[in-house]
Amino acid sequence: MPRRARIALPDVPLHLIQRGNNRQACFFAADDCHYYLDWLTDLAPRCGCRLHAWVLMSNHVHLLLTPNAADGAGALMKALGQRYVQYVNRTYRRSGTLWEGRFRSCIATEEAYVLGCYRYIELNPVRAAMVEHPAEYPWSSHRANARGEAGRVPLTPHPLYLALGRDDAARRAAYRELFRHELEPGLIDEIRAATNGNFALGSPAFRDQVTAALGRRASRGTPGRPAKLVEAESGDLFDPH
């Protein structure tokens, strides 16, 4: 069965994740992260993508971005992935694939879900028990979003981030407040299910709007459908990480 076409819309935020093949490492040293971020900085505007949040983990990447065109994120990840794989294979004298295949993604527009994706991404190292607070982790956008520190990757604040306060100081204070508590387990499950399944992330009304706009289903099927069919439509098994 052919893979479902990716759900993407112009000017609608997209949370995406790309993993190393077979969950293997894709970043081996600090230089690897630097090169990846430099290329991300170069390629994102070329592909018409505005980056809001990011994190590099040892074996996967999370990005929150808004593409100007529906195929913008796909173009970015293709160019970025190819350039980075060439670098890794040359540097570590390896061959073959580095990424597991297609990146996984979901679109979101509503406040709780867009800001939830910000938090989900930047809290990833905390959930992985690598640090106690996201500001302690050097390979994410948290210090830029929460403290205004200049990072290696220029960020474009999403309008919902800008709505957190009247000026930069107020926005950053409100943003830091969002991280005083862990992300709600139910929201974590929603983000994971939508991202791994290539569905719209949001309220039923939002999912219905996306379905109408695209002319195809933008949410998980009704209960009781055959498991193999749901698995085939989602493109992969549910990934709990």
The answer on pLDDT for 103 being more than 60 is yes
Mean pLDDT along residues 70-89: 96
What architecture is domain 14-234?
A: 2-Layer Sandwich (3.30)
pLDDT at 1: 44
pLDDT (tens digit per residue) in 114-172: 999 999 999 999 999 999 999 999 999 999 999 999 888 999 999 999 999 999 999 99
225 close to 231: Cβ distance less than 8 angstroms? no
Give me 100's structure tokens: 């597991």
Q: What is the largest CA-CA distance in the chain?
A: 51
Mean pLDDT along residues 176-186: 94
pLDDT at 219: 82
* pTM strictly above 0.85: yes
Mean pLDDT along residues 49-57: 98
As a dihedral over the C-alpha atoms of residue 7, residue 49, residue 116, residue 56, rounded to 10 degrees, the angle is 110
The answer on pLDDT for 228 being more than 70 is no
Consecutive H or E run containing 108 = none
The answer on pLDDT for 215 being more than 90 is no
pLDDT at 235: 32
